[in-house]
Amino acid sequence: MLVGALTAAAALVTVPLVASSASADIEPETYVPEITVASPVCDGDVPYLEYVFELPDDYEGDPAAPLTITWVNPDGDDVVQDDLPLSGRVLWPGAEVDGSGNPVDWPGWSLVDGEWVVGDEFDWVRDGVTVVFEVNPTAETVVAYPPSTPECATNPPGSPEATIKVDTLTPLCEEGVTYLEYGVSVTGTPNTTVSLTWQNPEGDDEVMADLPLSGRVLWPGAYPERFVDLPADEGWELVNNMWLNTATHGWAAGTVDLTFTVNPEVTVPVTYPADTRDCFPGTTTVDNPVAGSQNPTLAATGATVGLYAAIAAGLAVVGAAVVLITRRARKS
């Protein structure tokens, strides 16, 4: 096996921090530590983080104090590696080696029935993770998982490439409520849930997590009922005759990029559904200006249909009377 040492990313940061003095009468001093090396490397098919944490010359603490490295988990418990020297190498969280230093496990992979599949409790360390270095003071940086190369693999041997495919992507309007029906199929991963990220080009994305691989979700900003009265001063508006809070989710009324994440992930565009006569449009075109202006031939409903029905009924009555008069005239 060839041994590679590949630097995927090097981070240099200078973070001013304040260390507390022993006496309250002494002004606190500002220490400036430096992470001069924070390099993800692959060595012997094992992912490591090589680091150098330098204390400033005017640091008054113990220069031999142990270092603590904290890998920040955005969704759960952090991984803490303590009692470390100020420079060295640590295993990437989720990686394991045997007594000889050979790899036996990799983050983001699970051994299921003798086969490696994508997905485990360390998925979060593969997409870029914040690492905090602390002696007192502290500094932090973001590091990326080292990539595999022909000389050094940071994935299990013979591991398949995980895939994801969108099978169903149907914007729906039912009784004036907007939904998305979706379905994805995956291979090479044991994960049975998916996260939907609606990408907001103007601000925070809308994330719907831990969903089944197929199902139906409410469109971002939509209200789950049609025949209600929602306040316009709170941003509610009829868009294509469907309730949408345009104050917070106006960006969702057009075409939106939607990311399905299982590990791996795929991004596809989806478009807000258009109004149709099968989706209970308003009783008049005034209630439905979008449909009225864009589709003037849309079949009328509600009051308009009632008016047409009344006219038809009147004509039927008049026709019956004419027939009756005609028959009587013939008899006489």
Q: Where are the domains of the chain?
A: 13-143, 163-282
Q: Which residue type is seen at 112?
A: V
With a pLDDT cut of 90, the percent of the chain lying above it is 41
pLDDT of residue 24: 42
Backbone angles phi, psi at 46, to 5 degrees: -120, 130
- In this prediction, residue 200 carries a pLDDT of 95
Residue-level pLDDT at 20: 34
**pLDDT in the model for residue 83:** 92
**Domains 13-143 and 163-282 equal at CATH topology level:** yes
Say if residue 140's pLDDT is above 60. Answer: yes
Tell how strand 34-43 and strand 236-239 pair up: unpaired
**Fold of the 163-282 domain:** Immunoglobulin-like (2.60.40)
> For 310-317, what is the mean pLDDT?
51
User: At residue 262, does pLDDT exceed 80?
Assistant: yes
Residue 314 confidence (pLDDT): 54
Whether 87 has a pLDDT exceeding 70, the answer reads yes
Q: What is the mean pLDDT of residues 79-96?
A: 94
Amino acid 141: pLDDT: 86
- For 165-192, what is the mean pLDDT? 91
**pLDDT 10s digits, 184-234:** 998 877 778 899 999 999 899 999 988 999 999 999 999 998 888 899 999
Considering only 99-113, 239-253, 311-325, which range has the smallest mean pLDDT?
311-325
Give the neighbor-by-neighbor strand order of the sheet with 129-134: 79-84, 67-72, 129-134, 138-143
| Domain 13-143 in CATH 3.30.2010 | no
pTM for this entry = 0.53
pLDDT at 136: 73
Q: Could you tell me the pLDDT band of residue 127, with boundaries at 50, 70 and 90?
A: confident
| pLDDT of the residue at 31 | 53
Which tens digits make up the pLDDT trace of 284-311?
A: 333 444 433 333 333 333 334 444 445 4
CA distance 67 to 80: 11
Give dist(CA 329, CA 48) in Å, integer.
Answer: 106
Radius of gyration of the chain (CA): 32
Report the mean per-residue pLDDT for the chain: 77
DSSP 247: H
What value does the mean pLDDT take over residues 159-165?
81
Q: What does the pLDDT average to over 149-164?
A: 83
Helices then strands, each counted (H, E), the chain: 3, 23
- Most confidently predicted of 14-23, 158-167, 266-275: 266-275
| pLDDT level of residue 331 (50, 70, 90 thresholds) | very low
Largest CA distance in the chain: 126
Q: What is the pLDDT of residue 139?
A: 82
For residue 59, how far is the Cα from the chain centroid? 42
Separation CA 11–CA 142 (nearest Å): 8
Q: How many CB atoms lie within 10 A of CB 119?
A: 19
Q: What are phi and psi of 255, to 5 degrees?
A: -95, 130
* Amino acid making up residue 76: G
Distances (CA, A) of 107 to 4, 123, 216, 307, 316: 19, 6, 31, 68, 77
| DSSP assignments along 284-326, one per residue | STTT-HHHHHH-TTSPP-THHHHHHHHHHHHHHHHHHHHHHHH
Q: What is the DSSP letter of 253?
A: G
Contact 259, 246 (CB under 8 A): no
What's the CA gap between 50 and 174, in Å, rounded? 55
The CA distance from 175 to 80, in Å, is 52
Sign, Cα dihedral of 244, 245, 251, 256: negative
List helix spans (H) across the chain.
246-249, 289-294, 303-331
Give the per-residue pLDDT at 302.
39
Region for residue 221 given its phi and psi (left: phi exceeds 0; alpha: psi -120 to 50; beta: otherwise): left
Judge whether residue 25 has pLDDT over 60.
no
Cβ 53 vs Cβ 35: under 8 Å: yes
